[in-house]
Amino acid sequence: MKKRDTLFIGLMLFSMFFGAGNLIFPPFLGAESGTSFWPAIAGFILTGVGLPFAVLLAVSLVKGGAQTIGNRVHPVFSTAFMVIVYLSIGPFLAIPRNANVAYEMGLKPFLGSSASGFSLFIFTLVFFALVYVISLNPSSMEKYMGRWITPVLLLSMVVLCVTGLLKLDSPLQAPADAYASGAFFKGFLEGYNTMDALASLAFGIVILTAIGQKGISDRKQLTTYTLKAAVIAGVLLALVYVSLGLMGARMPAGNSANGTELLSAASVLLLGNSGTALLGVIFTLACFTTVVGLTAACGQYFSRLLPKVSYKLVVLAVTLVGFTLSNLGLNQILKISVPFLVMAYPLTIVLITLTFFSRFFKDSRRVYASTVLFTGVFALIDGLTVFGLDLGLVQNLRDFLPLSASGLQWILPAIAGAILGLVLDKLFKASSRGEVATPKNTQKVS
């Protein structure tokens, strides 16, 4: 495969990852963390870049991808987990979130008081019609996204970020309470909001398909080219996160409630009315490419899971559901997303970590199942707590665990589950060897 092809696939991967959350959260993190910016952005990059990178690598190493990794726990778990992930990063959560943010930033600022539900309807109708057309032919995605759309997106980002870093010079403020202590861990959790680690489980299929269409079929070569494309995408993402974060940190003190408001204020301050137009282009292109990538990934996964359902039919269903939910409004979508991410990310982290160390315990199902069970219980408790449910004594148990203040209380149970799985695996193997040896000994005596 040519170096140019690897570059374009890397750019396509960057554009698929770079959506609404990737724009919204870094500048707000910068403004909130202030003088604690660097440890905070390091934590953010670890889960916003490092974890998706690790997921892609793990998926490329295992024949059958994410589905096979989940099968090591149990086939039923694998199918259920992957279906939930695809539906969440697809039509029920990430897709409508991106489409809604594209409207909020790409069109609504220019409508003023005339913005309405009808304008949202028309915007999303055109948006999803284009998504449907491009997603119908996955082989053309590299051409449209890697060669045309992504360069325009990157150029727009360079203009905004370079202007911001040159003109914004306000001193860093004292960190907000959430970043006053443990800024790294707070940034680590904020990285969940990009949803990129979950998206990697889906994008792995799309990237491997794109590389395969270049004539690459050997597993080692697939992994090598996936790694190269991931490095290109990862470096670009990290540079954008640091730049946007520094812009937020250097903005004059204000009352922005979120990253969207902060970026809007920064673009107007830096470039006037043309800044609003530039930001609209950035958000629209970023959200569009992510939605195309997620739609194609859902189409490929569900058409393989259900062979009687064609890829085109799945793509149509995903775009219709995404279009419908996009018109419910952004606040409702975001309200659901955070509790789900808190529950899904620990399981994803554990599955990928076990995959890299699986050769040391020979893919033992007991190790996988025990670790995922212990992790899942506490991830579920955390998710329900974030959702606002009072769990009483269970909540007290969760708060008692180490790292609970940082939102990482599931780590100790995960380690305990892995140790229990290793012990059970050794006990069962020892018992099995004893049972095999007994008949031989009996035959000798007789």
Q: For 151-164, how does the pLDDT look when each residue is reduced to its tens digit (9 = 90+)? A: 888 899 999 999 99
pLDDT at 77: 93
pLDDT at 356 over 80: yes
Tell me how long the chain is: 446
Distance separating the N- and C-terminal Cα atoms of the chain: 67
Nearest to residue 206, comparing CAs of 432, 403, 16?
16
> When comparing pLDDT for 388 and 348, which is higher?
348
Q: What are phi and psi of 55, to 5 degrees?
A: -65, -45
> In this predicted structure, what is the pLDDT of residue 193?
80
Residues ≥6 apart with Cβ < 8 Å to 243: 157, 161, 164, 165
Report the SS3 class of residue 427: helix
pLDDT over 70 percentage in the chain: 94
pTM equals 0.81
The pair of three-digit structure tokens given for residue 271, joined into one six-digit string: 């470039």
**Where does the pLDDT of residue 208 fall: very low under 50, low under 70, confident under 90, or very high at 90 and above?**
confident
Query: Higher model confidence: residue 429 or residue 95?
Result: 95
| Average pLDDT value over all residues in the chain | 87
Q: What is the pLDDT of residues 7-23, one digit of tens each?
A: 988 988 998 898 878 88
CA distance 301 to 82: 9
> 15 near 234, Cβ under 8 Å?
no
pLDDT for 390 beyond 80: no
Q: Average the pLDDT over 264-278 and give the result.
A: 90
**Which segments of 63-193 does DSSP mark as H helices, in order?**
65-71, 75-89, 94-106, 108-111, 117-135, 141, 150-167, 177-180, 183-190
**Inter-CA distances, 64 with 58, 72, 202, 223, 332, Å:** 11, 12, 12, 13, 35
Residue 446 has pLDDT above 50, yes or no: no
| 3-class SS of residue 435 | helix
What is the pLDDT at residue 252? 86
Question: Residue 349, CB half-sphere, CA atoms under 13 Å: how many?
Answer: 24
| Token code pair at residue 314 | 């799945």
Give residue limits of the domains in the chain: 3-328, 336-429
pLDDT over 70 at 418, yes or no = yes
Q: Determine which of 138-142, 236-240, 332-336, 402-406 has the lowest per-residue pLDDT on average.
A: 332-336
What fold is seen in the domain 3-328?
Answer: Amino acid/polyamine transporter I (1.20.1740)
* Percent of the chain residues past pLDDT 90, beyond the cut: 43
Quick one: angle between helices 311-326 and 117-135, nearest 10? 160
Q: Is 327 helix (H, G, I), strand (E, B) or coil?
A: coil
Radius of gyration of the chain (CA): 23
Which tens digit of pLDDT belongs to each residue from 23-39?
Answer: 889 999 999 999 999 99
pLDDT at 258 over 50: yes
Q: What is the DSSP letter of 439?
A: H
Find the mean pLDDT for residues 401-430.
Answer: 88
Query: Which residue type sits at 98?
Result: N
438 band by pLDDT with thresholds 50, 70 and 90? low
What pLDDT was estimated at residue 437?
A: 54
140 residue type, one letter: S
Instruction: Report yes or no: 192 and 341 within 8 Å, Cβ to Cβ.
Output: yes
More confident residue, 442 or 124: 124
Give residue 130's pLDDT band: very low, low, confident or very high (50, 70, 90): very high
> In this structure, which amino acid lies at residue 411?
I
- Angle ∠(308,323,274) on CA atoms, nearest 5: 135
